[in-house]
Amino acid sequence: MRLIKDVEDGKINNVLVYKIDRLTRSVKNLMELIELFDETGCAFNSLMEAIDTSTATGRMFIKIVGIFAEFERENLAERISLGYEQKAREGNYINTSGVNGYDYSLEKGDIVLNEEEAELIKEIFDKYLKGTSLSEICKDLNERKVPAKRGGKWWDSTLRSILSNPLYIGTIRYGFFTQKEEFTVENTRYAPIIDEEVFSRVQTVRQNRKQRTPRNYPSDTAYFYTFLSCGECGSVLNINHHKAPQVKTGTIYLLI
């Protein structure tokens, strides 16, 4: 973005890259940049590809180079995705940043049990089964200044992820947060933290709470609900809507 701004401000006469795919691997972005360079009178050169973008033939070749660069990017992404999937099918946890209750060991190249965090996980499951809400659990953890896995405060979304993660009973899930096919691998080598019975009861409670507290929001007045969050505390946008008692127009007022 700094490069684009400097080109637009006329500070750059020539953009030189080692290869075109070092600039971008998107054909659309590449053509947009070429047009920007032409409009601002900025030359564009690649050390490895001698292409004259001022001619029709040159623009055609640069599109071909861009197509191959885009293909290479997508092909690489597919290979990496297949690698992760196969690793998960072999019973390996693929989140190298670690997860609550476990730490990632560079020496072992795998996650290992964190005894202190494991006790905290048990506490969270126990409180939830006793009827404590996610907000109340978060408030308690934050007031006690219990550190979250990656620092910062505890949020409801963090607890929902913990309560639904089968890793705590020794099972790995894959594809849960993506569009890919979801599957689980049981009887892995990872030490369980929660009993299967406790985990199953928590899933039942979570489902029952969803059924008892349905929320319906009018789509024409709550477009950004759950999408916007506070820049200070991180809380997700929440709204209440009502009709003003003395207004007969039926206008809905949002309290944000």
Q: Give the domain ranges of the chain.
A: 2-89, 120-212, 215-256
pLDDT at position 121, please?
92
Tokens of 104: 């990632």
For 2-89, CATH gives 3.40.50.1390
At 122 the pLDDT is 93
Q: What is the mean pLDDT of residues 204-225?
A: 63
Kindly report the number of other CB atoms within 10 A of residue 205's CB atom: 14
Find residue 105's DSSP bridge partners.
110
User: What phi and psi, each to the nearest 5 degrees, are found at residue 210?
Assistant: -65, -40
Please state the rounded mean pLDDT for residues 187-194: 81
Q: What confidence score (pLDDT) does residue 247 get?
A: 47
CATH level 2 (architecture), domain 120-212: Alpha-Beta Complex (3.90)
DSSP 8-class letter at 195: -
pTM for the model = 0.54
The region, left, alpha or beta by phi > 0 then psi within -120 to 50, assigned to residue 187 is left
What are the tokens at 188?
């892995």
**High-pLDDT (> 70) share of the chain, %:** 76
Q: Which residue has the tokens 């993660």?
A: 165
Whether 31 has a pLDDT exceeding 60, the answer reads yes
Band the pLDDT of 85: cuts 50, 70, 90: confident
What pLDDT shows up at residue 139? 92
Q: Reply yes or no on whether the pLDDT at 74 is more than 50.
A: yes
CA distance 98 to 104: 5
**Which stretches of the chain are assigned E, i.e. beta strand?**
14-17, 43-46, 102-105, 110-113, 172-174, 183-185, 240-243, 252-255
Whole-angstrom distance, CA of residue 208 vs CA of residue 212: 6
